[in-house]
Structure 1
């Protein structure tokens, strides 16, 4: 759509710099309140916009897309994950979908390591003691955790984030193992000294720490189900900074409560904000409010990618980060 100022609807508050730049480039409708749009507001958005800029809190399903006008030609997602968007239906209706891959990889990998350390070294328990004022001094046996150096880390999903986690974990002296749809390039595997496991079952049965770094797709839903969780060693830890739906949360909760797993660090949850209340009661579980990508730098980079995708599309070209259904 060259030489035409596109109508763009943004569903959530974005960093100020990103909103300012969008206003300069496009005819933009911004969100005044930082709350998700209602279904009715989303329907109105897809009826009026040339471009929709949603986030993971917006359900862009077939029913919603069925109400879109012919104007809507691009869904420029603010975020890498597109499991909240029916990409196949969008394509059938001639609507392109783009995302922001890689923008939050380093930040999410940092948070993965933070969770591994928090769980294995019992950091939240230490914080609770200090904040309560009950600390009465150092003790040889108080709050003893585990050393991560020398431990086996099994990474489930060896994309940008998985590889970034591997680089960090290797620096901490961990042994790197991974399961992926296919092996990574030999040079990358050699640099990371990473061992590939074709069998997920065999890998997780031998790991001390398992990190979930794969996207949520129909094939990864409950990939870590009750059966697989039971394969893990009782002294193992599981960390998830990807999508909550990859783990059967109820099964995980039962195992943690029974002492069949040593601990868990979770930044994402199967049912969004509806977290299993029994998880909150466990001292060996660290829960975070989906903070993996929450850095100023990462969120700005995500916005820049959204801008580039829209601008490229407006100039009559394919968005650089177009999502192709066959690759999901």
Structure 2
């Protein structure tokens, strides 16, 4: 793995504004081009500016497209993405071009798992419509029988993807006395399942899910896996929450199931094509919507940025970055 002479000489393009402590560190460690105004850059602008740099620190907010990596100039040796997911980058293309790619696993586990529990509770107990009733001065419309939410404690939770975040969700759900089930490519080590029952087939888990929490990576195998066929296998009145990636869900199928009553509710922090989401979600009263804030705490965003800088410093010292994907 070839690298520049050292961090102090490497030129790094930072596409979005980061937490202040991280910006101070990267400015001290590299010849860094920061984005203090947090102005979104188009792929064309990033490519044009990349010619003056050795590496790029970018984010999942940057909508790059399939032609981005092939068009990068030869000067770019590494891309550090300020995210765990890397579906916005083509790892095979980067590998073919000899560009190192790193991500930020581990540091946003708790924050994202907290949001998953918020979505479970918010979707089940009607947080969005309850908030609107108070704001719109409609509190007086409540009766003993309407509107009503749904119980969480003691219900069955299925977890799609039992990695770090899925395990953290399971740990939290146990506090609500939920019966846990999970599906992933293989069983996790004993103790990491937090009492959850493993299902080798996704379809076999679904009938046991009063709640389905989506925590898997977006891959060719998982994109669109929550679709009309899989939703049909859920119990009537189930609730779906997603803190992973929007393209794991078929929007037509989910919206149809919410409108028909097949699903009682959904809680979504991620969407296909975000922030330009399917407008039909906004018209549904039984959806609790968040703007992809799973990692949005000062401590988590700072830790993610520092992990990016760690990887960049390791690379330009000629070391293997801890979070290398290529």
TM-score w.r.t. structure 1 length?
A: 0.94
RMSD: 1.5
User: 1:45 and 1:264 mapped to 2: Cα distance?
Assistant: 41
CA distance in 2, matches of 1:214, 1:45: 34
- Structural mapping, 1:165-180, within 5 Å: 165-180=169-184
1:268 paired to 2:270: yes
Q: Secondary structure at the match of 1:220?
A: coil
2:239 matched residue in structure 1: 237
- The question of whether the paired residues in 2 share the 8 Å contact of 1:240 and 1:267 is answered with yes
Kept in 2: contact 1:62–1:89 (CA 8 A): no
Q: For 1:206 and 1:298, locate their aligned partners in 2 and report how far apart those are by CA, in whole Å.
A: 33
Structure 2 CA distance, aligned partners of 1:28 and 1:76? 13
- Cα offset, 1:234, TM superposition: 1.7
What does residue 65 of structure 1 align with?
69
Residue aligned with 1:136, SS = helix
SS for the counterpart of 1:286 is strand
Query: Which runs of no fewer than 5 residues in structure 1 stay unpaired?
Result: none
Q: Which residue of 2 aligns with 1:128?
A: 132
CA distance in 1 between counterparts of 2:81 and 2:142 reads 50
Q: Secondary structure at the match of 1:217?
A: coil
Three-state SS of the structure 2 residue aligned to 1:264 is: strand
- Distance in 2 (CA, whole Å) between partners of 1:274 and 1:102 is 28
- Counterparts of residues 236-255 of structure 1 (less than 5 Å): 236-255=238-257
Q: 2:47 aligns with which of 39, 43, 50?
A: 43
Structure 1 residues 255 and 71: alpha-carbon distance in aligned structure 2, compared to 1, 3 A threshold: same
Q: Secondary structure at the match of 2:192?
A: helix
Say if 2:113 and 2:169, in contact at 8 Å, map to a contact too: yes
Unaligned runs of 5+ in 2: none
Is 1:183–1:196's contact at 8 Å kept on the other side of the alignment?
A: yes
2:162/2:184 contact within 8 Å kept:
yes
> Are 2:113 and 1:86 aligned?
no
**Equivalence map 1:144-183=2 (5 Å):** 144-183=148-187
State the shift of 1:141 in Å: 2.8
Distance change >3 Å, CA 278–CA 59, structure 1 → 2: closer
Which of 286, 289, 311 aligns to 1:287? It is: 289
The alignment covers a number of residue pairs equal to 322
